[in-house]
Chain A
Amino acid sequence: MLRTQLRRQPHKDSKGATEARMQHMAVFSVGGQRLAARTEEIGGVMPWMGLTAVPSDTPFVRALVRQEKGCLPVFDLAAKFNRPLQDGEPLCLVVKHVDGPLAICIDSQVPSLHMVARSAVQYRVGNDPDIAGTCIAGEEELPIINLTTLGVSSNRPA
């Protein structure tokens, strides 16, 4: 038994090492703008329920959306990127934001999951703190959006 375990150990390590070299990314679009985000920053996807406007001074946070018995604040990513939402039934991307769950209205295509090699991910600091860098997912170079800190330090359009 011990031998078996010992034999399996290198396999586990190898698998772990492989996974350590990969980054799980979700790819979605907002107004046709394709974006990538780390999957661990996403809480779920659900149908878009319709907005309740909030008279707010916070940039891009001007609405609430129903979720089960409560509601979530909405970050208007389309407005940030100056993109009109596409026709069709939009989806609600629930984000694990540092200030609590946050909703984003995304295009009707269901987000796709990608295993991206770490070597294909480039983190860099740019003008927009909501953008972490870029990655290549499905032969496409996409901006990586920082969902967990969305809007925390950015209050200007991209």
Chain B
Amino acid sequence: MGLRGHKTAVVSSGLAVRFLVALMGPTYVAFPSHWVRGIVTPTEGGQDGHVTWANASYERIDLARRLKIQAEGITAETRIVLYANEQRSRSFAVDKVVGLIDVERALIQPLPAQFRGGERERLLGLFVESSYIALIANPFWVLELPSRTNVLDVFVLRGSEPRPGEFDSRLCLPSGALEEASAMSAGSAK
């Protein structure tokens, strides 16, 4: 299974966003994968509130609690996601990594207007898959950075060629974890 193996939901426009989909409690949460730096097991995560991987340190946060999701607790499928951009890095536990998925930009729906509370800051929107509905976490909120408008435009993939200076986060993922994520997503593909 290659590192590039993942489910693709891109149909026509070529504009897509790649997500890492994970289960947190009963909720499928999608993270724009561009800022995913790695996926490690809890035992690799360290005990001091930080995860150090590839000479980078990731402060541990309880993202499930911040999202107000009741997580399952540590199980054999628990993974620690290393998430960072140029300014900030964080790590957080998810109950299960579902896989990587490319979603056509047009298929990403905003959070319906009836949701009027703090969830609008935490969640950018959603997409509907055959077996689940994934809620898209605001990556700026995850990293405790000031948010911005049109957040997803930052993460849009334009065709197969990377933009100048674009950083391909997939290359930095610990290979075992990424292969695992790829295998999971390939396994769940239609």
Contact = CB atoms under 8 A, between A and B. Distances in A.
B126 A57 contact: no
B114 A102 contact: yes
Interface string A84-116: 000000000000010110100000000000000
B115 A61 contact: yes
A99 B118 contact: no
A31 interface: no
22 contacts: A52-B27, A52-B133, A54-B119, A55-B69, A55-B123, A56-B115, A56-B117, A57-B68, A57-B117, A57-B119, A58-B114, A58-B117, A61-B115, A61-B116, A66-B128, A73-B112, A73-B114, A99-B112, A99-B113, A99-B114, A100-B114, A102-B112
4 A-B pairs with the lowest CB-CB distances in the bound complex, closest first: A57-B117, A99-B113, A55-B68, A73-B112
B9 interface: no
Given A55-B68, A56-B119, A75 B126 contact: no
Give the dominant DSSP class at A's interface.
strand
Interface residues of A, number: 21
Contact of A58 (B27, B28, B67, B119): B119
Contacts of A73: 112, 114-115
B122 interface: yes
Interface string B101-142: 000000001001111111100110010100011010000000
B114 A151 contact: yes
Interface of A: 52-58, 61, 64, 66, 69-73, 75, 97, 99-100, 102, 151
A52 to B, nearest CB: 4
Contact of B128 (A53, A71, A102, A151): A71
Interface residue tally on B, bucketed by range: 20 to 34
A56 B109 CA distance: 17
Contacts, number: 61
Contacts of A75: 114
Interface of B: 26-28, 67-69, 109, 112-119, 122-123, 126, 128, 132-133, 135
Given A55-B67, A71-B133, A64 B119 contact: no
Nearest to A102: B114
A54 B128 contact: no
Given A55-B122, A56-B119, A69 B128 contact: yes
Contacts of A61: 114-116
Given A53-B27, A66-B133, A58 B128 contact: no
Contacts of B132: 52
